[in-house]
Structure 1
Amino acid sequence: MSTDVPAKPAAPRPTKRPNGQWKVDGTDPLNHNEEFKQEDNGLNVRRRIEEVYSKQGFSSISNDDLRGRFRWWGLYTQRRPGVEAGAHNSLPPEEVDDEYFMLRVRIDGGGLSTEQLRVVGEVSRDFARDTADVTDRQNVQLHWVAVEDVPEIWRRLEAVGLHTTEACGDTPRVILGSPVAGISADEVIDPTPVIREISDRYIGDPELANLPRKYKTAITGHPSQDVVHEINDCSLVGIDHPEHGPGYDLWVGGGLSTSARLAERLGAFVTEEQAAEVWHGVTRIFRDYGYRRLRNKARLKYLMADWGPEEFRRVLEEEYLGYALSDGPAPPTPNVPGDHIGVHRQKDGLNYIGAAPTVGRVSGTLLVQLADLLEVHGSARLRTTPFQHLVILDVADEHVAAVQAGLRELGLDPAPSVFRRSTIACTGIEFCKLAIVETKANAATAVGELEERLADVAEQMPQRLTLHINGCPNSCARIQTADIGLKGQLLPDGDGGKSPGYQVHLGGGLTSEQRDDPGLGRTVRGLKVTTEELVDYVETLVRRFLAERTAGETFGQWAHRADEERLQKEEVTAA
């Protein structure tokens, strides 16, 4: 008789791998990013920067601090000059990293006093080789920053109420806010108190400093919906409820990058008093239920895609708020553009002036000069915008002409051409380690040439026609939501090598561009342009649109209905 003990049946294999959701799978880290975040909160690196790294220099910085926790304080290593395009995919990071940093100054709501503006300009001039970019996240970004100088930079910024806390990293990033908050005569609700409450209570809170990935917020009370709310993780859009009065409509789960998805309405009305708490609830849902196993699936949009808005709202109300939110109407389609270019009357009788630096590129010297210009003419504040623009506030009628002239002299056009107004570009290969092609210089060149080439049809052009140029697939310049979006790629040059170029996206747009059908652009198979072909192609495409559009038809509508051959690079007869 056999005495063998029957083998136990094998445990059933799990049908689904854990996604690293803290409330579902526990908090054991499933990758190195999650390990270093749990080992030491990213906010703690500031002390080491001040006490160790700024004294001992770049070589003393540990890897997890250098390429991880430094981001919690707005610091990224920038691209080493001379590193070839695409090399970050094959070279070790220490061969791609320069020993200098990009530093992002966090500006929630985009609000700056002239005193703050001057300090940012002086920091740029003294510590960043006079570099400065106004970003499409309402930040100001500096380059060539040495770690030895960071404590003094923080001291200067914080002395005037600015900081870099959680400007990057797996954290609640800068809060986009309406650039005309509190001054516009036609805003539904002023978002300033809500932005301030969220910033004061939650930014720098260790309990929210380990999110699965970056987390983006947008809040506006202006009818133009001027904060690109559809592509943020959590957005509050001002509405006037028929029973409860002014408040906010809640949107969740937007994001672009390589897998674009527009946010969805939860159908919930949020009062001003509830807004910060609701934001906190959505943020904690992301912290507790967000996917952490794979970095490329860790944004909130993936959870929203799986749950849907009804389930997300149920979890928010039942697990995090403890009360039900009222149902609310959707915001109406805007009837004015959301970029605030030009001269506009404030509700107090003064004026604000929106001006366009070319693709956001400025300098520290220019920022100091701008502060001087404003103060000479009685203004003490301005705003950055999500379109890489600047909005000057509180200009009296008798100073409008002089301020406009001064802005033009500084290269900040208050009455720009359609291309200077509507073109944005990411940092590009000049500084960004992920970029494949140049962006800022190419975009500036394109703007100038298109202004000249299309001067004969300038009167036929729409008020806005967006051209967004990005240096890699990650879409920092929002290529999928542009009329013409260009994604950086290396293209075959016909001789066995590669040359810089772009994949083309056409017909995207958001409600802030007065789109009643916001959506992502289309791609046409095989449609790519080299950097040398860029201007020729855009000119051809615009002339074709002007010749073929129907009455009232937007570029986006035409691009989505046009046959593919009409979107290709072949030249056509000028309109």
Structure 2
Amino acid sequence: MAATSEPANAAKSRRKAGRHRGEGQWAVGHFTPLNGNEQVKKDDDGLHVRTRIETIYSQRGFDSIDPADLRGRMRWWGLYTQRKPGIDGGKTAVLEPEELDDRYFMMRVRIDGGRLSVAQLRAIGEVSEQYARGTADITDRQNVQLHWVRIEDVPAIWEKLEAVGLSTTEACGDCPRVIIGSPVAGIAADEIIDGTPAVREIHDRYIGSKEFSNLPRKFKTAVSGSPVQDVVHEINDVAFVGVVHPEHGPGFDLWVGGGLSTNPRLAERLGTWVPLDEVAEVWAGVVGIFRDYGYRRLRTRARLKFLVADWGPEKFRQVLEDEYLERKLVDGPAPEEPVSRWRDHIGVHRQNDGRYYVGFAPRVGRVDGATLTKIAELAATHGCDRLATTVEQKMIILDVAQERVDALVDGLENLGFQVNPSPFRRGTMACTGIEFCKLAIVETKGRGAALIEELERRMPEFDEPLTINLNGCPNACARIQTADIGLKGQLMLNAEGEQVEGYQVHLGGALGLQAGFGRKVRGLKVTADELPDYVERVLRRFQEQREPGERFAAWTARAGEEDLT
């Protein structure tokens, strides 16, 4: 028996290989599509749909669109059907996609690094006014989203955007999404290294290329050389974080495998130092691993974080070096923990050239086309051509001469934007919500704006850094697990037994300073109507019980459940 038995380690390896083939990994020879999404991508590359949009769908109208393009490939060009008005949250998971689809689209304008010129912002504003009923939302990935877009108008919108160097290419879909970057790259006085050349090189070499246009799912990238670590690197698939090597000088620390949704996971360091001119090559290696080894069988496991969790950072680095880069990477130090408790660049700040940048706060990222155009004109009037969006749904005007700062601040205030906002306006974010999103269960944007106003009225003295993130469903687009107060939308029963909109509460999440996920108190749910009362109650207990200098997240970690309800 012993002579014919398979060695235990060989059997284990065989079982492991079989399991990975079952995950649909290309690198082990499994190219047969294991679900409908993979079949759609195999049938035709998502990038090809643009030709059909321009030559067929925009000419013949919404009813001419192939369903596989409508709910699949059109995402590669930044287009999702939006939610049909009047469908309540209780039907989100019940209705078929065609029942939820409206005949209009959300369009996502890709803004890599968050950088905009006056002409580009003006063009977005004009597109919004002409083709999107004036809608415009700044996202937490530095993009701008428009709504109410008709398929007939898409080619004209592309023409207008591309004339100023903007695009919607791979703004959605199973491909490399927008590359988020420090909004003050190249100008911040305390910057470690300017990542702008790397962002530009990745975009120019790989975005829109078929090399990476069929990934297992979306792929998110962050690049920042700022010491405040202003690109939420801990929750991206790949991130390059500014660091100084004791021998080689400024470069980037490489992180992989972060992500939120229903299975949140913080990214892990690979322990490498990457010089600026190698960032794009290393990025392509990481994306190549995801393309070839990523899990394609189940959509719920088709993110890089699951592969990193199974492999561990040591194996991931080994595969990256041996199979994709064919060289060893330099070992490097970890970045220092940021000192600043705000990482959003709001306010007036001196640049490294003696000029200033001015960060201001829209409420929960919601603006409109006419206002975007006014912001562009305000920047131009004050002698600057560069603006930026942030990962906190805020905006920045760069390169302002000192003598023009006060006038610019006044102009922004006249438009309803605050340069010195309350912590509530500064720290509250909200996803799209049920107004337009087909996955949402509850309303978010209006609820977030109303919460800000109510808290400002009730607690004008509150001046501690605080993040409040509202999400319309469990998918965590608004990063609820990493907020001081994270609110996950759901339906619940009120005191009268009626089904109403509400939120499950997460408390004490953080990124940057002691990054971690928020605490869920058993059974802690709050109806939408009760939300202002609840937040005020918890914040007042924090004020009463906190130790000197204690952050809200630290207090929630030690507070009793009775103090958090």
TM-score bracket for the superposition, by shorter chain length: over 0.9
Aligned position for 1:374: 379
Q: Under a length normalisation based on structure 2, what TM-score does the superposition of the two structures give? A: 0.96
User: Equivalent residues in 2 for 1:232-243 (5 A)?
Assistant: 232-243=236-247
Q: What residue number does 2:102 align with? A: 98
- Contact kept, 8 Å, 2:242 with 2:252, in 1: the verdict is yes
Runs of 5+ in structure 2 lacking a partner? 1-13
Task: Supply the distance in 1 between the matched residues of 2:354 and 2:455 (Cα, whole angstroms).
Answer: 37
Q: 1:18-65 deviations in whole A, cap 9, x for unaligned?
A: 001111242111011000101100000000000000000000001100
CA contact (8 A) 2:92 2:441 kept: no
Paired residue for 1:482? 483
Deviation at 1:495, TM superposition (A): 5.4
In 2: Cα distance, 1:303 partner to 1:149 partner: 40
Q: Give the drift of 1:183.
A: 0.6
**Within the alignment, does 1:267 sit opposite 2:271 as a pair?**
yes
- The corresponding residue for 1:284 is 288
Q: Is the 8 A contact 1:18 1:25 kept in 2?
A: no
Length-normalised TM-score, structure 1: 0.94
For the residue of structure 1 that corresponds to 2:557, the secondary structure is: helix
Q: Secondary structure at the match of 1:419?
A: helix
**Equivalent position amino acid for 1:469 in 2:** L
Find the residue that maps to 1:89 and give its secondary structure. coil
Cα deviation, residue 494, structure 1: 5.2
1:64 aligns with 2:68: yes
Q: Does structure 2 retain, via aligned residues, the 8 Å contact 1:187–1:221? A: yes
1:260-282, Cα deviation, whole Å (9 max, x unpaired) = 00000000110112110000000
Question: Which residue in 1 is equivalent to 2:363?
Answer: 358
Match 2:252 to one of 248, 252, 269: 248
State the shift of 1:227 in Å: 0.2
Greater mean deviation of Cα atoms: 469-478 or 491-500: 491-500
Q: Secondary structure at the match of 1:317?
A: helix
- Distance, in Å, in 2 between the alignment partners of 1:91 and 1:476 is 22
1:446 and 2:457 correspond? no
Instruction: Quote how far apart the aligned CAs of 1:322 are.
Output: 0.5
The Cα of 1:493 is off from its aligned counterpart by 3.3
What is the aligned partner in structure 1 of residue 10 from structure 2?
A: none
Residue range with higher mean Cα deviation, 81-90 or 133-142: 81-90
Matches within 5 A, 1:417-436: 417-436=422-441
**Shift in Å, 1:372:** 1.0
RMSD: 1.2
Per-residue CA deviations over 1:407-431 (Å, capped at 9, x if unaligned) read: 1111221110000000000000000
Between 401-410 and 141-150, report the one with greater CA deviation.
401-410
The amino acid across from 2:371 in the alignment is L
2:392 equivalent among 380, 387, 399: 387
Aligned to 1:160: 164
**Correspondence for 1:526:** 523
1:549 maps to 2:552: no
Q: CA deviation at 1:496?
A: 5.4
Greater CA deviation, 143-152 or 369-378?
Answer: 369-378
Q: Name structure 1 gaps, 5 residues minimum.
A: 1-11, 569-575
Q: Residue 293 of structure 1: SS of its match in structure 2?
A: coil
Distance 1:229 1:411 in 2: 31
- 2: distance between equivalents of 1:291 and 1:381? 40
Equivalent position to 1:117, from 99, 116, 121:
121
Within-5 A mapping of 1:118-133: 118-133=122-137
For 1:501-516, what aligned pairs fall within 5 Å after superposition?
A: 501-511=502-512, 515=513
Q: Once the two structures are superposed, what CA deviation does each residue of 1:338-370 show, in whole Å capped at 9, x if it has no partner?
A: 100100001111100010000000000001111
Q: CA deviation at 1:532?
A: 0.3
CA distance in 1, matches of 2:511, 2:416: 27
Map of 1:139 onto structure 2: 143
Which amino acid counterpart does residue 538 of structure 2 have in structure 1?
Answer: L
Partner SS state of residue 280, structure 2 = helix
Letter in 1 for 2:221: T
Query: After the TM superposition, which segments of 4 or more aligned residues of structure 1 sit over 3 Å from their partners?
Result: 12-17, 493-497
Between stretches 83-92 and 168-177, larger displacement belongs to 83-92
**2:525 counterpart SS class:** strand
Match of 2:220 in 1: 216
Instruction: Kindly indicate whether the alpha-carbon contact (under 8 Å) linking 1:86 and 1:435 is maintained by their aligned counterparts in 2.
Output: no
Say whether 1:305 aligns with 2:309: yes
Give the C-alpha shift of residue 86 in structure 1.
3.5
1:210 aligned partner, one-letter code: N
Distance in 1 between residues matched to 2:249 and 2:502, nearest whole Å: 50
SS of 1:359 mapped into structure 2: coil
**Shift, 1:497, TM fit:** 4.3
Residues in 2 aligned to 1:548 and 1:88: alpha-carbon distance in whole angstroms: 41
1:536 aligns with 2:533: yes
The whole-number CA distance in structure 1 between the counterparts of 2:380 and 2:293 is: 48
Secondary structure of residue in 1 paired with 2:89: coil
3-state SS of 2:489 partner: strand
The percent of aligned pairs where both chains have the same amino acid is 63
Q: How does 1:173-184 map to 2 (within 5 A)?
A: 173-184=177-188
Structure 1 counterpart of 2:420, from 412, 415, 439: 415
Partner of 2:4: none
Structure 1 partner of 2:9: none
1:297-336 equivalences under 5 Å are 297-336=301-340
| Offset at residue 296 of structure 1 (A) | 0.5
Q: Deviations along 1:137-177, whole A, 9 cap, x unmatched?
A: 00000000000000000000000000000000000000000
- Residue 466 of structure 2 is matched in structure 1 by 465
One-letter amino acid matched to 2:358: I
Partner of 1:229: 233
* CA distance 1:529–1:95, shift in 2 (3 Å): same
In 2, the alpha carbon distance for the partners of 1:429 and 1:47 equals 31
- In structure 2, C-alpha distance between the alignment counterparts of 1:63 and 1:497, rounded to whole Å: 37
Where 1:55 maps in the other structure, the secondary structure is helix
Q: 1:3 maps to which residue?
A: none
Aligned residue number for residue 3 of structure 2: none
Deviations 1:73-120 (A, max 9, x none): 000000000112132311121111000000000000000000110000
Q: Paired residue for 2:201?
A: 197
